[in-house]
Amino acid sequence: MKIAVVGCGAVGSYYGARLCQAGLEVHFLLRSDYAVVRQNGVTIRSVQGDFHVQPACARTPGEIGTCDAVVVALKTTANSQFPKLLPPLVGPRTAVITLQNGLSNEEQLARLFPAEQILGGRCFVCLNRLEPGVIHHLAHGKVVLGEFQRPPQPRTHELAALLRRAKVPCEVTDNLGRTHWEKLVWNIPFNGLGVAGVAGYDALTSGHPSPVTRHALGLVLTTDKLLGDPRWEKLVRELMLEVIATANALGLNVSESQADKQIERTRLMDEYKASTLLDFERRQPLELEGMFLEPLRVAQKAGVPVPRLTALCEVLRQLDQTR
């Protein structure tokens, strides 16, 4: 197979490198990292064993051309670039797979391509990009793969088998929507509080968060700090239960036990900075829309009380404006 990776940060580089290691023809579409990755390749420092690959590199999608599969791992803040980056890579039989966070990414792709070409994947993986072409894989790595607006197809299982061959644990889901909400159970508290925690505990629990200023900023919260303080762990759990209640109001049947499972898996990550916290520290735009604001709108439309998520979104909006 010929595969293009669009968005070669930590997630795109890691999974692209795994596919390259398995002997597939993998093309990385790169911008600022192009020269370094073309010369030095990609190095993965992994708890499962380090490895190095030399993927094909391109600056423009036209250099790559039509592929059998396109893996989209862009930050969702760059989704406006879909019309520019993706059409040269996509033919009538290309599978377009988004591994992005949050909701509505598949819907945005469906404005460009037929729905039956689109898949989504939920990644539960602990990664950091140390420098151009160097990724640190700390824990986990499973992908849950599903079709957009339809049940699994033969190609869904073929792609899952391909990922497993590339040493990526992969399962197929019969309900991609449920899978996205299960990921939000983790993303909303750990990505959100990792950043919003700088505003202080009171700002997130008072019900009426006061304006956040740089003078009020406190401690950024890695996963170990969020789970090492009973107050913050309680807030993590409350946010998780609000997300689960919203998913169940949509008829997605997400068990409340997801909260306990995800908290326990997160303890294995130790001092991990979630992606939104890294974006905040780098003064980059935060992935607010799909990961926080759209779930909030869905909850409000469904009539689900979500006071913790409401306060979190308000604090994140303010912090994003202070970048």
Active site residues: 183
User: Is residue 323 within 8 Å of residue 280, measured between CB atoms?
Assistant: yes
Residue 251's contacts (CB-CB under 8 Å, 6 or more residues apart) are none
Per DSSP, the three-state class of 276 is helix
User: Is residue 277 within 8 Å of residue 195, measured between CB atoms?
Assistant: yes
User: Is residue 27 within 8 Å of residue 67, measured between CB atoms?
Assistant: yes
User: Is residue 100 within 8 Å of residue 73, measured between CB atoms?
Assistant: yes
Tokens of 294: 């759209």
**Alpha-carbon distance 278 to 234, whole Å?**
23
Residue 93's contacts (CB-CB under 8 Å, 6 or more residues apart) are 68, 117
User: Is residue 1 within 8 Å of residue 24, measured between CB atoms?
Assistant: yes
Tokens of 83: 């019309």
Length of the chain: 323
Region for residue 284 given its phi and psi (left: phi exceeds 0; alpha: psi -120 to 50; beta: otherwise): beta
For residue 63, what is the DSSP state? Answer: H
The secondary structure of 12-51, three-state, reads HHHHHHHHHHCCCEEEEECCCCHHHHHHHCEEEEECCCCE
Tokens of 205: 């629990």
Looking only at the bridges linking them, the beta strands covering 118-131 and 51-53 are unpaired
User: Is residue 11 within 8 Å of residue 75, measured between CB atoms?
Assistant: no
| DSSP string of 48-97, one letter each residue | T--EEE--EEESSHHHH--EEEEEE---GGGGGGHHHHSGGGEEEEEEEE
